[in-house]
Chain A
Amino acid sequence: MKRTWRWPLAGFVVGGLIGATFLTVNVVGASGPEQRRAVNHSFGEILHTPPLILKQNEPVELTFGVVCGLSEDRPEARCSPKGLVYLRASGTGEFRALRLAREPNGQLSAEVPSRYTGGAGFDYYAEIEDGRGYSATLPPGAAAAPQHAWIASNWTTVVLGSPRFGEARRPDSIVVRASWGKGDRALGLDSGREQSRIGPSAFDLAPDGAVVVLDQVNDRLAVYRHDARPRHLPIAFSGGEGDLAVAGDGTAYVLDAGGAGSSTPIVRSFDSAGQLIAGIPLAEPTADMVRAGPGGPLVHAYPSEMWLPTGRGRPPVVPSRQIALARPGRAVAGNLEVVVRASPGEARFALVRGDRVVQAWIVKAPTSLGEVQLAEPYGNGLLAVVRLWTEKRAEFRVLQLQPAGLTGSFAVDRAEWAETASLSRFRLHGSTLYQLRSAPSGVEIALFEIGGTT
């Protein structure tokens, strides 16, 4: 018998062993049980909403929630946090400590003494330890970059009329229309069972008026000029949602969640050809907005609720420096900052310069106020977009806030079939307001001419 089958059989056995070894190393080994049992030992997180803008002598309580990181996977593993809040009046050098009291619901709080609420404002930061040897400060910059509350003595009060849902202003025009999908004229939709419908996260206007859409589902920027067919710029994007700001020089700043490879969000900058300029992780674990400021991009981060600069070019601003340069207001042109503090009962807006309040508004509504979608300098005041809602209905209201009061207002349909980044449905470009709208049929960018600046 000729043994010609011996060498093919040997090859078959060797090939099978090579294949099985390859798969074992790359699939099973990469996900072995040791890696599965990790428990992350850490402080957890301090939760807080800063008061930001107060009336003179208004009583204010600083409240902090504390989330205990699990040290063991068992029900009794908890922490017992306690801490101090350090305060100083604006313009003074020394912080004074105030003990935080524990409330029945587990939160820590302290009443701000009246000596801090009668002047121009105060700075503060909290230092909390969890009883297990971990501690944290909020904001993370502590005394070097504290949180701030401005105190305004003069307010312009605006009382909105009842919403008449269903009578929203129609857009003046639609500048972008796209179906859902991956094609040249489409924008991506991430949907499925038991999850949100996630469409393009954000958009912005380039200096030449082009509409740039963050089509993160398809890992690209879609640039619409006067043609229905957009130009696509492939970009690196991590995570499911993000935000976009286009600066005056055409640089696009993209905020993403960092994805599986990063525990913090990442800001990447791209030139107008879509080439990556730089990327930098954020100093805090959560962020919702990136905006182009006069000195470069600014990111609104949590839990501090401060605006962190990430740098306009290369090298970007490293996380430790972001913390040191953090500001509670968003820097805009004219050496001003925009400050927003809203609640279901009223929304407060201010333009500030340093510690001084230049102009402040209180907006009250007969229904619940939702989020502030937009607050941008406009004329001598602000253009703001807020949500008004009841349990079953909602709309957006565009407000022209000027020193004398409300000089213009109109309702806009919410058109939010798909999710965007939470505060990126609107952008203001000159005197034109743009809205990202979605429906089962697709996406459009609508345009509203505002007019009426003084």
Chain B
Amino acid sequence: MTMRVKALGLLPGLVGGLTLALLALGAPAGAYHTNFQGYCNSSWLNLNPITRGESRDYAYSGAAEGYQWAGGCWNNNNVDDSPGDPPGDPNTRGEGPDCSGFTFKSWYERSETGDPWFRYHYLMQNVHGPYAAADFKYGVGAPNTTVAKANTVFMDAFASTYHIGMIYWANTAYNQDRIIEAKCEACGTGTWPRTYRGNPDYSGARRLYWAG
């Protein structure tokens, strides 16, 4: 058998094998992109009440991390490790929380909606919690209530039916609020000045039972 005949025999097999490998392995990898959540865990521990300041420190760990609709884990390395995932798809399994999951974790809430007390969720714990933004807006769940926007303080939140962000620092020089929030896939999670306070779409939301 000549080299040319051998090569002609090898080539279709090579192309076929390569195609099959990319289809078999590449399609799921592409769909899940980085599969960040594959490295997350389910670790938590219950705590006594914490302060608003401790809650803000925890939330700050999410700044500069990613956004993932229905997601819940991040690693505090200040990089979105799964940028560019298609938005609104939980199967992309990317890094970061969404807005309501970020609030749930930062407010140290528990998954049992009748239990108002505190739970530390490890940053890499992949948990979203039972609440959507609208639930916070209407004060659903034992730890949550509503509050007049004029009376809000730091680590209260502004919630609409489609988004929620927590007050990181109230009243800037231009009278905005610096909000800490999981904003969108292209935005990631971070702190930005916002005008939610004066926007009628948004209501004041508060976690109860802070230690201070």
Interface residues of A, Cβ cutoff 8 Å to B: 4, 6-20, 22-23, 27-28, 30-31, 33, 35-40, 44-45, 47, 49-50, 52, 65, 67-70, 73-75, 78, 104-106, 190, 192-198, 239-241, 257, 259-260, 263, 285-286, 288, 300, 302-303, 305, 340-344, 347, 368-372, 387, 389, 391-394, 414, 416, 422-423
Report which residue of B6, B53, B67, B172 has the largest number of chain A beta carbons within 10 angstroms of its beta carbon.
Answer: B172
Q: Which residues of B contact A422 (CB under 8 A)?
A: 176, 192-195
Report which residue of B9, B47, B185, B186 has the largest number of chain A beta carbons within 10 angstroms of its beta carbon.
Answer: B186
Contact present for B195 and A371 (CB under 8 Å): yes
Contact present for A194 and B132 (CB under 8 Å): yes
Q: Closest CB-CB distance, B102 to chain A, in whole Å?
A: 10
Q: Which residues of B contact A7 (CB under 8 A)?
A: 6, 9-10, 13
Interface residues of B, Cβ cutoff 8 Å to A: 6, 9-22, 25-26, 29, 34-36, 39, 45, 47, 50-54, 56-58, 60-61, 64, 66-67, 69-70, 75-84, 87-88, 98-100, 120, 122-124, 132-133, 148-150, 154, 162-163, 168-169, 171-176, 178, 183-188, 190-195, 197-200, 203, 212
Contact present for B187 and A342 (CB under 8 Å): no
Sample (12) of A-B pairs whose CB atoms are under 8 Å apart:
A12-B20, A37-B39, A39-B77, A49-B172, A75-B45, A75-B47, A78-B54, A196-B163, A370-B197, A370-B198, A391-B149, A392-B200
Among A30, A241, A257, A305, the residue within 8 A (CB) of B34 is: A30
For B193, the closest partner residue in chain A by CB is: A288
Contact present for A192 and B79 (CB under 8 Å): no
Among A49, A68, A194, A302, the residue within 8 A (CB) of B69 is: A194
Known contacts A70-B57, A196-B163: A20-B21 contact under CB 8 Å: yes
Q: Which residues of B contact A18 (CB under 8 A)?
A: 17-18, 21
User: With the chains together, A393 CA to B25 CA distance in Å?
Assistant: 54
Q: Closest CB-CB distance, A66 to chain B, in whole Å?
A: 8
User: With the chains together, A192 CA to B184 CA distance in Å?
Assistant: 9
User: With the chains together, A33 CA to B77 CA distance in Å?
Assistant: 13
Contact present for A40 and B78 (CB under 8 Å): yes
For A258, the closest partner residue in chain B by CB is: B64
Q: Closest CB-CB distance, A428 to chain B, in whole Å?
A: 16
Q: Which residues of A contact B133 (CB under 8 A)?
A: 194
User: With the chains together, A7 CA to B76 CA distance in Å?
Assistant: 51
Q: Which residues of A contact B50 (CB under 8 A)?
A: 75
Q: Which residues of A contact B16 (CB under 8 A)?
A: 8, 11-12, 15
User: With the chains together, A197 CA to B183 CA distance in Å?
Assistant: 10
Contact present for B174 and A372 (CB under 8 Å): yes
User: With the chains together, A15 CA to B57 CA distance in Å?
Assistant: 50
Q: Which 3 A-B pairs have the closest CB atoms?
A: A11-B13, A15-B17, A19-B21
Q: Which residues of B contact A31 (CB under 8 A)?
A: 34-36, 39, 81-82
Q: Which residues of B contact A22 (CB under 8 A)?
A: 22
User: With the chains together, A20 CA to B21 CA distance in Å?
Assistant: 6
Among B29, B52, B194, the residue within 8 A (CB) of A105 is: B52
Q: Which residues of A contact B70 (CB under 8 A)?
A: 194
Q: Which residues of B contact A303 (CB under 8 A)?
A: 169
Q: Closest CB-CB distance, A24 to chain B, in whole Å?
A: 8
Q: Which residues of B contact A45 (CB under 8 A)?
A: 60
Contact present for A192 and B88 (CB under 8 Å): yes
Among A15, A196, A263, A391, the residue within 8 A (CB) of B184 is: A196
Q: Closest CB-CB distance, A412 to chain B, in whole Å?
A: 14
Contact present for B173 and A340 (CB under 8 Å): yes
Contact present for B78 and A368 (CB under 8 Å): no
User: With the chains together, A106 CA to B20 CA distance in Å?
Assistant: 60
Contact present for B162 and A195 (CB under 8 Å): yes
Report which residue of B17, B47, B56, B78 has the largest number of chain A beta carbons within 10 angstroms of its beta carbon.
Answer: B17
For A70, the closest partner residue in chain B by CB is: B61
Contact present for B162 and A196 (CB under 8 Å): yes
Given contacts A47-B168, A190-B87, 17 further A-B contacts (CB under 8 A): A11-B13, A11-B16, A15-B15, A15-B21, A16-B18, A23-B29, A40-B76, A40-B78, A47-B178, A69-B60, A194-B163, A259-B188, A288-B192, A300-B174, A342-B174, A369-B175, A394-B200
